[in-house]
Amino acid sequence: MCGIVGFVSSGPVIDGLIQGLKKVEYRGYDSAGVAIIEQGIIKRHRAVGPLAALMTELPPFQGTVGIGHTRWATHGRAEEKNAHPHCGKGTAVVHNGIIENFQALKKDLSFQGIQFESDTDTEVIAHLFATSEHLTNLQERVLFVLKQLKGNFAIAVLLQDCTDCIIVARKGLSPLAVGQGKEGFYVGSDLSSLSGSAQKVAFLEDETWGVLYKDQAIFYDWTGQEKHLNFYPNPLQAQETEKGDFQHFMLKEIYQQADLVRIQGLPALPAEVCQASFFTALGCGTAFYAAWVGKFFLERLAKRFLNLELASEFHYRNPILPDGVSIVVSQSGETADTLKATLYAKSQQQYVLGMINAPHSSISRQVDYLMPTGAGTEIGVASTKAFTMQVLSFLNLSLALCSDAPLRQTVLDSLKEIPSVLKDIIQRSHEFAQIAAVLSQYQSILYLGRGLHYALALEGALKMSELSYIHAQGFAAGELKHGPLALIDPQHPVVVLAPWDESFSKTLSNLHEVKARNGPIFLITDTKGAASLEGLKPEGLFMYPSLQEPLLQVFPNAICVQLLAYYTALHKGLSIDQPRNLSKSVTVE
Ligand code: M6R
């Protein structure tokens, strides 16, 4: 969602701010802006649309203290007046999160004669700072404002009365990172914005604020007590946030999977996990589907029960949880719904295992045991390598808990086949481009699969709809006759995930039912499956080499649905790394 950047230095900061904004672009945004202190005066420049729009007519700022923001509209449309930074008299503010009491504050401020120019909740923060100018002590002034704000927020503030610093603050779910580099101090809504600039980084804890100068940073708690923040070496390398020779980050990230999915050594699990017989998995979107695959792994290999829960629904119903382990799955580690679900699980005395890609994220800091999924930085909004690494983490967990040594060995042997199978698929990407050219003509696509492949059908449909804006929906193949078959006609194609396994013949019968109703079929299968089609002639076919262990077909299937969605969006000329309306890191509920 929205991205915050800030930079205080001894030289001009505008280039550093723009670089930072480019690095948070992946989070998704619809407008952007910067504010800089120029010769003692706050100057602001904002624009709707991509950063390129902000860059046109960008004044030649020379100031050494500045903040910037990419906005994903929540309160108020994507219009320039709603873009951040928001200003009050002598103040400018960028903000992530939601000020829950902004209506009441706005009313009070309006009574004092203050005119509002935007529809946002953020603007109240700027005016509160403006109305606190009588407080000459900076600490008193900041606390005066912070204590009036309810909700979750991360902010960076410029004050005309304090021209050599940026004020930063965090409360609740919205993360904020501070970086120290050779040229000064930085602030950012995540580590990406600090990659390539800050050598050391620290996350602001809940209810912490601070003042960043060019050569020092001082932090305080909500009572005004000074507090120490641990800075550690920046784990993010600059090249991780660059596209290299790829046309899109998404394609780079799809390709990286062939090198990532391999035997890593099984985790040494804590006793709480080894002894648990009841697991609950929590996640949203793609992370939820990875957990769905994890359910198969955990039940088949480790013989443990896994209860699947959408994190966005979970805590609202106050679920009852038997003693056990909750596994929270998240790429960003910042998803507000998943963070809330984590906190609820903790409140129910669950032992919490985090399968998180961003090891220093807010959720990572909450869990009892962290299994970093190790996908590396994922920039494309559509999750690809993060999904496969979440699936691999579930496999590793399940194998570590598996007491059937021969079964474990068979799976590990089959895992060795995966990199070459994935490379083979990637080398034949053009075949997906051909299928995608046909699929892109349709308004609606059904994805079908059985068992493990049902989870992949759901993931494939999510990928297709988020990237191509074609309505796509996943169904369990066995459910077809219970309703969705009514949709089938020549205008409603089905994408089917059906490599050869114990349920193949059942899925084949479903495909004949589709064929009998003139539904176009696009089949993703393996060589054994393709050889067993019994006269079925799909409109499109992609076949990958058969694997020793059918459980691992999830990996080639994942890459296939990703490439299909990628090429469909490419064919339609859409924004692949930042699909409309979506954000990489969903930090509001
Ligand atoms: O960062 P998280 O894994 O917690 O994100 C969860 C979902 O928002 C995410 O997987 C989303 O569904 C993806 N954009 C799908 O490609």
pTM of the predicted structure, to 2 decimals:
0.81
Atom of ligand 1 nearest to the CA of 584: 14
CATH class of 3-241: alpha beta
Q: Which are the contacts of 364, defined by CB distance < 8 A and separation ≥ 6?
A: 333, 354, 356, 358, 370, 372
263-415 CATH, one of 3.30.565.10, 3.40.50.10490, 3.40.50.1360, 3.20.20.70: 3.40.50.10490
What pLDDT, in 10s, does the model give residues 96-112? 988 999 999 999 999 99
418-576 CATH, one of 3.40.250.10, 3.40.50.300, 3.40.50.150, 3.40.50.10490: 3.40.50.10490
Report whether pLDDT(389) > 80.
yes
Atom of ligand 1 nearest to the CA of 285: 12
> Residue 25: its pLDDT value, please?
83
Which of 558, 562, 556 shows the shortest CA–CA distance to 544? 556
Domain borders along the chain are 3-241, 263-415, 418-576
The active-site residue out of 23, 252, 295, 584 is 584
**How remote is the CA of residue 383 from the centroid of ligand 1, in Å?**
6
pLDDT, mean of residues 232-253 = 84
Residue 22 annotated in active site: no
Which of 178, 167, 208 shows the shortest CA–CA distance to 65? 167
Report whether pLDDT(489) > 70.
yes
H or E element: which one contains 336? helix 336-347
Which residue blocks in 489-578 are alpha helix, DSSP H? 504-516, 527-530, 554-571
pLDDT, mean of residues 472-483 = 94
The active-site residue out of 2, 87, 165, 402 is 2
Max mean pLDDT among 17-26, 133-142, 385-394 falls in 385-394
> Residue 77: its pLDDT value, please?
85
Residue 259: which pLDDT band, with cuts at 50, 70 and 90? very high
> Residue 471: its pLDDT value, please?
97
> Residue 76: its pLDDT value, please?
82
> Residue 584: its pLDDT value, please?
77
What pLDDT, in 10s, does the model give residues 53-63? 999 989 999 99
Phi-psi region of 518 (alpha: psi -120 to 50; beta: other; left: phi over 0): left
Cα–Cα distance measured from residue 182 to residue 199, given in angstroms and rounded to the nearest whole number: 8
Rg (CA), the chain: 25
Residue with CA at minimum distance from ligand 1 atom 8: 285
Residue 578: which pLDDT band, with cuts at 50, 70 and 90? confident
Residue 214 annotated in active site: no
> Residue 181: its pLDDT value, please?
94
540-544 sheet: strands from edge to edge? 471-476, 444-449, 494-497, 521-526, 540-544
**How remote is the CA of residue 586 from the centroid of ligand 1, in Å?**
8
The residues lining ligand 1, judged by C-beta closer than 6 Å to any ligand atom, are: 284-287, 330-332, 335, 338, 381-383, 462, 466, 586
Q: Do domains 3-241 and 418-576 have the same CATH topology?
A: no
What pLDDT, in 10s, does the model give residues 543-569? 999 999 999 999 999 999 999 999 999
Q: Are 298 and 324 in contact (CB under 8 A)?
A: no
Given the structure tokens 């892109």, which residue do they identify? 440
**How remote is the CA of residue 149 from the centroid of ligand 1, in Å?**
29
